[in-house]
Chain A
Amino acid sequence: MDALVAQLQMQYRNYTVSLYQQGFLDDQFTELKKLQDDASPDFVAEVLSLFFEDCVKLIGNMARALDQTGTVDFSQVGASVHQLKGSSSSVGAKRVKGLCITFKEYCEANNYEGCVRCLQQVDIEFKALQTKLQDMFNLEKQIIQAGGKVPQVDIN
């Protein structure tokens, strides 16, 4: 049992570190983790599921805005991008945030192609992050089920 826990914990550590190393996450995510306590044990998961819902919604908005025949309302797209940027920044979704910054620049420049490309990338990135984090949460669950404690991962 202990061996299993230890193994899972190790796996969890490595996985988490890899997420940071691959740039999916940044320190803000660590902040988020710190905020999770016994009073709100699923805080991170809650925030993130909210974030992903937000993502879907915002990406949908942006896609619709960009899909307009005729003139595209870039300010509308920009508002959504700003929202997404704020959210991703808050949860530490580093890659998404980085893309949003570029995306925003394209919006401000009224660059349609750039916007479309960014939108596609954001879509891919957020889905990738979702999968990764889902894996991480699953690992956490397994650790807890196995009677262990989710280890704190010191990224530095």
Chain B
Amino acid sequence: MVCEMETDQQIEEMDVEVLSSMWPEDVGGTEPDNQFNVEKPAGDSDTLKEVDIAEKRTMADLKRLPDLLNTTDQGSSQLTNLVKQWEYMQDHAVRLLREELKILTKQREEAEAKELKIIEEHNFETEEPENVPVLDESSDLFRRFKEKKRDKLVGRKRIEIDEEFDTVAYWKQKALSLEKMLEASTERERRLIEKLNESLKTMESHSAPVEELTQNLKRAEGFLHFILQNAPIVMGHQDKDLRYLFIYNKFPTLREHDILGKTDVEIFHGGGVKESEDFKREVLEKGKASKREITFETDLFGSKTFLIYVEPVYNKAREKIGINYMGMEVTDQVRKREKMAKLREDNAVRKAMESELTKTIHITEETMRAKQMLATMSHEIRSPLSGVVGMAEILSTTKLDKEQRQLLNVMISSGDLVLQLINDILDLSKVESGVMKLEATKFRPREVVKHVLQTAAASLKKELTLEGNIADEVPILVVGDVLRIRQILTNLISNAIKFTHQGKVGIKLKVIPKPSFASDNTHKADAEEQNGLAETSVWICCDVYDTGIGIPENALPCLFKKYMQASADHARKYGGTGLGLAICKQLVELMGGQLTVTSQVNLGSTFTFILPYKVAASNDHSDDQDEFSDMVDHQPEPDDSTEGYFQFKPLLGSIYSNGGPVMGNNFLPHKAMLPSPVKLINGNTGQSESVQVENGGYMDDTRLETGSGHCPESAHQYENGNGRCPSKESESCSSSQASSEMESEFTVSSPREDVQTETEVKETSKQPKILLVEDNKINIMVAKSMMKQLGYTFDIANNGVEAITAINSSSYDLVLMDVCMPVLDGLKATRLIRSYEESGNWDAAVEAGVDIKVLENKQMSVRSTNRLPIIAMTANTLSESSEECYANGMDSFISKPVTLQKLKQCLQQYLH
């Protein structure tokens, strides 16, 4: 800017106009309303000439402003600047003038020198012709001088004019020209003097700095106006009470006296005003310039956002006297920025959602895969299993000997377990997401091990010995999530069996001291054993070992990963989902334990899991039957809760264990080997006599060692130890024959066969008589088939009248009565039957129009001592209908369509 001003100045230097209106000198006299300080374009400022500068933008307290400029740094710096500029200009002018003066002086000197010479020459020339004759003597000398001088000054000329040197004409001419030159020189001198005077005069006119300064100030202000005229800027100065002393506003809506001397709060109302005031005050207090964006919401100019810059103003004594502030309207920018921010935010949200979705998709895919697998598995497992369990349950209602019942119990509990496990596999995802809850139930570890082994043995297709070995110190009853523990054991055992072709597979349970990974547990297992508290913690280490193919070391790391098997070859050869170990590991870890594995290729593997359990009081066996033992309520079975060793030996061909044909065997696809349980009772239960070692279960010393020392007579249990009991063998053979016969009869394994056999048994004793009253042929057909499956036969009546006729002629144990029938509906028929039961005659029926002739004949033979159970079959399951059934004397009702399950339940309820 200084530069510009300078060039400006140089151009205009020569004809600076002095203007009378000056600022700030003029300030005092100007009317406040007549905005003095908006410059009219100065005549000399060409750049501003065309620019239209709106007036009345600036308002100032005219009296205070000069003070302010004088007292503040900002003000004085401006003046200093101007003064400096002016001084510089003056210096420049002086220098120029000096230079000019120098030139002029030089010119004058030259002119004087010339004049002198001319005078000399002239004198000589004019004198010589006159004086030569007079002053002869001196003429030589003068001539010599003259020659000398001529040699010295105008040597060349002398040569030029040599020829005419002596002529009068020559000298006259010479004198004339010299005279002319002199005249010109004099003239020049006069002009120079004039010029000099003029210059001096000009100098004088520059001598007043105020005028110059005014000029510059005007220019500066004009420049500012030029720059600012369209900028959305408000500038101002406020004193330390935040009263306006000066304001520049592009869009003034208020008159000067509305603003000057007032504070923001006094001027505006609305949002942001207070904030801006506070901000200004803050700046004033802190003495530190700062910026802030404030959104105003005023009646005056609506909603506008300003970026406000406020700086404190000090006087020369470094005292705060007010603030300068500058506000730029940035509403649009703010709006854009906010829009951008919002867009960015939306974008971020969308991105987050996208990634979330991708994650979900990923998870869903994973889940889908698992579900697909589960669907296949559950199909493969559930269908045959429901048959197994269903049959076993039916079987359990029949007369069974102790051994059979025991096996059946295992069967049922295993079946239930599998069903539950299928559901639990679904829990795998729950474990992963941390929502699986563990249940704390009391259970007997020995029984769990036994059942697991027994279950495994039941489906064993190989010649493997399964053994269980439980250390004495393992509590009888512990608390834990038995389902999960069984799940783990079953998984590990089935895994072990799968990969073992010969030798043995076993479970070993022992109590260990608190492992290092569970450092927070302060209890010692030993201590707990000793103090015998009802519920203390105990760490039990469970080894599941086998003599199988082993696991190569490099496959160990991924062993517990989902869907992974040691190698693809294994997967092909041995099948399986690859989920088992992953589930085990997760379950063990969920229960606060640890699952590890050691393995040697071709020698076998040992999976070890360590889990904490609570020890439960073991003195309440009888009423604390767990899920495995409470299957049997009535028949006492050997309490094997303290057995420490179990072994299930492979048996060949036709040899069946336990003498009893187990119904379940018929539909197990692998009948070749049924292992027999070998039980060694080492407990103090006092039932040792009832325990037999069957089918040549061999034992070794280690097993004997496991036998408890409390039982001195344990040795005699092994009397049959090394040989087979002949009678048992023969029994086994016969039973196996029976089994194979049955097998040939029913090639497809399904629950029915079993029921049929059950039925046969029942028929020999007493087959209940059932009457089905139903008019719909299809329903009859379906019901017939169901009854057949359940092992019952029945008579059919097509309507109420037929039913009454049938009941009259024969005695029934149960009537299944359709409600809605032609001729006589079920409700009416039931009422009539009840009436007959009460009165002993069919009068009511006769009244209702039933053909009594048929009835009369046999009336006397009918027994009516017992109330005949009548079960309604109704399509309406609404309570109204059922109430109607009961109101009409029916005992129960089955909602249609009748299913096997419903029918079974009903028959069981009313026929047993």
Question: Measuring CB to CB, which residues of chain A are less than 8 angstroms from any residue of chain B?
Answer: 27-28, 31-32, 34-40, 43, 46-47, 50-51, 54, 79, 82-83, 85-87, 89-92, 152, 154
Contact = CB atoms under 8 A, between A and B. Distances in A.
A148 to B, nearest CB: 14
Contact of A154 (B383, B748, B782): B383
B746 A90 contact: no
B758 to A, nearest CB: 15
B777 interface: yes
Contacts of A28: 897, 899
B810 to A, nearest CB: 26
Contact of A89 (B379, B747, B748, B875): B875
Given A37-B750, A50-B777, A90-B782, 17 more contacts: A31-B782, A31-B786, A31-B899, A31-B900, A35-B789, A38-B747, A38-B748, A40-B785, A43-B785, A82-B820, A85-B875, A86-B875, A89-B897, A90-B776, A90-B898, A152-B383, A154-B382
Interface string B744-755: 001110101000
Given A40-B785, A85-B875, A89-B875, A47 B897 contact: no
B781 A46 contact: yes
A39 B896 CA distance: 25
Contact of A90 (B382, B752, B779, B789): B779
Nearest to A79: B822
A53 to B, nearest CB: 9
A7 to B, nearest CB: 17
Contacts of B375: 154
A39 B787 CA distance: 13
A47 B379 CA distance: 26
B781 A86 contact: no
9 contacts: A28-B899, A35-B900, A46-B781, A47-B782, A50-B777, A86-B875, A87-B776, A89-B896, A90-B897
Contacts of B875: 85-86, 89
Nearest to A55: B778
A35 to B, nearest CB: 4
B776 A83 contact: yes
Contacts of A39: 752, 788
A5 B897 CA distance: 33
A90 B780 CA distance: 9
Closest 7 pairs (CB-CB, A-B): A35-B785, A28-B897, A87-B778, A154-B379, A86-B776, A90-B779, A89-B897
A87 B779 contact: yes
Given A34-B900, A38-B746, A90 B379 contact: no
Interface string B874-904: 0100000000000000000000111110000
B525 to A, nearest CB: 45
Contacts of B775: 83
Contacts of A85: 875
Nearest to A153: B379
A92 B378 CA distance: 24
A74 to B, nearest CB: 16
A38 B756 CA distance: 13
A50 B747 contact: no
A23 B638 CA distance: 53
B782 A91 contact: yes
Given A54-B777, A79-B822, A89-B875, A37 B748 contact: yes
Contacts of A87: 776-779
A92 B785 contact: no
Given A37-B789, A54-B778, A152-B383, A92 B897 contact: yes
Contacts of A43: 785
Contacts of A154: 375, 378-379, 382-383
Contacts of A79: 822
A56 to B, nearest CB: 13
Contacts of A92: 897
Interface string B375-390: 1001100110000000
Contact of B896 (A32, A38, A86): A86
A47 B789 CA distance: 16
Nearest to A31: B899
A90 B748 contact: no
B587 to A, nearest CB: 25
Contacts, number: 75
A128 to B, nearest CB: 19
A90 B900 CA distance: 12
A105 to B, nearest CB: 13
Given A50-B781, A86-B896, A35 B747 contact: no
Contacts of A54: 777-778
Contacts of A46: 781
B782 A35 contact: yes
A128 B898 CA distance: 25
B383 A90 contact: no
Interface in B372-412: 375, 378-379, 382-383
A90 B782 CA distance: 7
Interface hub of A43, A82, A86, A91 (most chain B Cβ within 10 A) = A86
B778 A35 contact: no
Nearest to B384: A152
Nearest to B774: A86
Contacts of B788: 39
A31 B897 contact: yes
A11 to B, nearest CB: 16
A31 B776 CA distance: 17
Nearest to B787: A35
Contacts of A83: 775-776
A40 B756 CA distance: 14
A37 to B, nearest CB: 5
A26 to B, nearest CB: 9
A92 B875 CA distance: 13
Contacts of A47: 778, 781-782, 785
A36 B778 CA distance: 14
A69 to B, nearest CB: 26
Contact of B782 (A32, A38, A82): A32
A46 B784 CA distance: 13
A51 to B, nearest CB: 5
Contacts of A82: 820
A34 B375 CA distance: 20
Nearest to B375: A154
B596 to A, nearest CB: 37
B785 A90 contact: no
Interface hub of B375, B747, B785, B788 (most chain A Cβ within 10 A) = B785
Nearest to B783: A90
Contacts of B897: 28, 31, 89-90, 92
A56 B875 CA distance: 22
Interface string B726-753: 0000000000000000000011101010
A40 B806 CA distance: 28
B383 A86 contact: no
Nearest to B747: A38
A36 B900 CA distance: 12
Contacts of A90: 776, 778-779, 782, 896-898
A87 B822 CA distance: 15
B785 A50 contact: no
Interface hub of B382, B822, B875, B897 (most chain A Cβ within 10 A) = B897
Contacts of A152: 379, 383
Nearest to B382: A154
Contacts of B752: 37, 39
A91 B897 CA distance: 8
Nearest to B778: A87
A79 B900 CA distance: 27
Contacts of B822: 79
Nearest to B785: A35
A152 B379 CA distance: 8
A50 B746 contact: no
B679 to A, nearest CB: 38
A47 B245 CA distance: 106
Contacts of B785: 35-36, 40, 43, 47
A152 B386 CA distance: 13
Interface hub of B782, B786, B818, B900 (most chain A Cβ within 10 A) = B782
